[in-house]
Amino acid sequence: MVFLTTDHRPLTPAKRLSLAEAVERFVPDGASIAMGMALESLIPFAAGHELIRQRRRDLELIGPISDMLFDQLIGAGCVRRITAAWVGNVSAGLGHNYRRAVEQGVPGPLELEEHSNFSVGLGLQAAAMGVPYLPTRTLLGSDLARHNPRIRPAEPGLLHVGAIRPDVAILHVQRTDTAGHAHCWGNFGLMREAGLAAERVIVVAEEIVETDVILSDPNRILLPPHRVAAVVHAVGGAHPSPVQGYYGRDHAHFGEYHQASRQREGFLGWLREWVLDVPDRAAYLARLGARFDALRPSAPRLAAAVDYA
């Protein structure tokens, strides 16, 4: 199937897949995945849960701060390596599965490449630009630079951060068309750098809309369409993290996970309830019930229209 413009020339092939298909096709065992790039918002929890259900193994997770999703994937035994600036639960602080893995090797050992937010961003930006490294003044005097082989001393007063090139970036956005023209608004974190650095991008969106809707506001498009390998429709796919204009953050969910995951047994129970016994995101939303609707904004807050004439 090809997408047709009004003058009937093919524009960009349609890329729409189900979440299960996208994960199956583009995220093999051992893949490196950039996720949670916007920081506390737009975290692709639905995609992360699908990785767990498909029993992916030996993954490398790449991100700046990672609010709870990395902790879940670690506890589920999917992860071999973490390249990140922070792994925990923003509402509560520590991530119990991350601690168990590093301190006790449960459920398995974890390789760590520890960064700051800026150095993760520079590594992704270097890959996005197609250069081996970028110089910076951050992390001088920090033990992070001494112990991270990707960060090397250079001329005095500068460090070089080596390129970070993920196999896949999974990016949650507000809306997209089936060709991968995706609209995103709010804080971007490192979404754009990850999308340009990764070999392939999976866009997960709250809404699939007509191409004309997206192209009517090109400044809001996240990436050039050739970067996008797959487009997935997943309503509520970022819950419990917020999506600007669609739903707010479910703070209680973060707290409940923190309590449940305190012990390994409690985490496994949580995993069954919210991931393994839930076939897809629609079933997950049905389980949330009215609680999800309560997160919807009470009134719209529209931006003024802009004129591209």
Partner 1 sequence: MKLEYTPQELMVVAAAREIADGEVVFVGMRLPLLAFGLAKRTHAPTAIGLFENGLVRDRVPPPDLYTMSDAPNVADAAWATGLLEVMQVLQRGDVHLGFIGGAEVDRFGNINTNLIGSREHPQVKLPGSGGGADIACLAQRLVSLMEHEPRRLRARVDFITSPGYGDGSPEWRARQGLVRGGPSALITTLGVLRFDPLTREACLASFHPFTSPQAVQAATGWPLRLAEECSPTPAPTVDELRLIREADPHGFWTR
- For residue 304, give both structure tokens: 């003024």
Cβ-proximal residues to 6 (8 Å cutoff; 6+ apart), any chain = none
Of 23, 14, 77, which is closest to residue 47 (Cα–Cα)?
23
- Would you call 173 helix, strand, or coil by DSSP? strand
Contact with partner 1 (CB under 8 A) among 17, 193, 257, 261: 193
Interactions with partner 1, residue window 101-120 (CB under 8 A): 102-103, 114-119
- Minimum Å gap between C-beta 20 and partner 1 is 28
- Minimum Å gap between C-beta 136 and partner 1 is 7
Q: Give me the residues paired with residue 83 across strands.
A: 62, 113
Q: Is 18 in the site for partner 1 (CB under 8 A)?
A: no
Encode 216-230: b = buried (16+ Cβ within 10 Å), e = exposed.
Answer: eeeebbbbebebbbb
Instruction: Note whether 198 and 170 are within 8 A (CB).
Output: no
Q: Is 291 in the site for partner 1 (CB under 8 A)?
A: no
Q: Is 93 in the site for partner 1 (CB under 8 A)?
A: yes
Neighbours of 206 (CB within 10 A): 20
Q: Is 131 in the site for partner 1 (CB under 8 A)?
A: no
Q: Is 301 in the site for partner 1 (CB under 8 A)?
A: yes
By beta-carbon proximity to partner 1, the closer residue of 10 and 157 is: 157
Q: Is 175 in the site for partner 1 (CB under 8 A)?
A: no
- Would you call 235 helix, strand, or coil by DSSP? coil
Contact with partner 1 (CB under 8 A) among 10, 137, 306, 307: 137
Contact with partner 1 (CB under 8 A) among 72, 125, 174, 211: 125
Per DSSP, 72 falls in state H
* Contact footprint for partner 1 (CB under 8 A): 38-41, 64-65, 67, 84-88, 90-91, 93-95, 98-99, 102-103, 114-119, 121-122, 125, 136-144, 147, 156-158, 185-193, 241-242, 244-245, 248-249, 251, 297, 301
